[in-house]
Amino acid sequence: MPDRMGAAFMSENLTERYLTDMGEIRGTRANVPETSFYPALERLLSDIGKSLSPKVRCVINLANRGAGLPDGGLFSADQFRRIARDPAAKQNPFLVQNPTRGVIEVSPRTRMSVMWPGQNRWSDTGSDTEWFS
C-alpha cells in the first residue's frame, strides 16, 4: 500500500507544480496562448515519464520529419543512451530518431492531443487530422 500512497502523493505534487507553473507564467501577462506554457508541460510530462518503465522524456519543438511540426515528442530512455554510444547521433540525434512513445499536439486551453506509436490519427481531439498515412 505505501507504493500507491507514494504514487498518489507524487501525482498530486506534479499536478500542483504544473498548475503553479502555469499560473506564474500567466501571471506575467506577457504570455502567448500556447507556446509560453510549453516549458511547464515538458517538465510535467518528463517528470511523469521518470516513473514509467521504460522511462520516458518529453522533448518540445521537434524538427519537421515530413509530416508537419508536432509540438513535442515522447522519447524512451534508451534513445538517450543511444546518443552517448553513437558518435554520428551526437550532432543531432533527433534527425535520426522518431519519438517511440508518441507525439504531442497542444491547442490553447481547449485540449492536448497525443498520438501513440502505430496510430495514424490524433487521439481524444474529435478531429480527423491525419499525421501519418
Residue 29 lies in a domain: yes
Q: What is the pLDDT of residues 69-128, one digit of tens each?
A: 889 999 998 887 765 566 665 566 555 678 899 889 887 655 555 666 666 655 554 444
The answer to whether residues 44 and 89 touch, using CB atoms and an 8 Å cutoff, is: no
Give CA–CA dist 50/119, Å, rounded.
Answer: 24
128 is a domain residue: no
**Range(s) of the domain holding residue 18:** 2-115
What are the strands, taking DSSP E only, across 1-133? 56-60, 72-76, 103-107, 111-115
Instruction: With respect to residue 65, please indicate whether it lies within any of the assigned structural domains.
Output: yes
Q: In the structure grid, which three cell numbers stand for residue 24, read together?
A: 506564474
Please indicate, yes or no, whether the overall pTM of this predicted structure exceeds 0.85.
no
pLDDT tens for residues 84-101?
566 665 566 555 678 899
User: What amino acid occupies position 83?
Assistant: I
CA distance 29 to 19: 16
Residue 133, domain member (yes or no) = no
